[in-house]
Amino acid sequence: MLFLPPVYDWLWTLGTLGAVLAMLAAIVQISRSRVLTGSTQLVWTLTVLFVPLMGALAWFLLRPRDRASADR
């Protein structure tokens, strides 16, 4: 039987917590977006939920910008 040091437990916990927080942040941003239509919001939300880490990363990299924030 393989025993891993307790550090790995902390690393897995922090990694999982980071992934969950990234998903929640992405879903909140998707729901608050004024640029997306209802069906586009649904597609993005389902993507983040069913492909958790990659979906959130894709949202943060590819999300449409609001015109007000793009002008700054």
Q: Is 55 domain-assigned?
A: yes
pLDDT digits (tens, 9 = 90+) for 14-56: 999 999 999 999 999 999 998 988 899 999 999 999 998 899 9
pLDDT grade for 67, boundaries at 50, 70 and 90 = low
CA distance 30 to 35: 9
* Parent domain of 50: 28-61
User: Which pLDDT score is estimated for 60?
Assistant: 93
In the numeric block, the tokens 């999300």 are attached to 63
pLDDT digits (tens, 9 = 90+) for 1-12: 567 678 888 888
User: Which pLDDT score is estimated for 24?
Assistant: 96
Domain count, the chain: 1
Q: Is 22 domain-assigned?
A: no
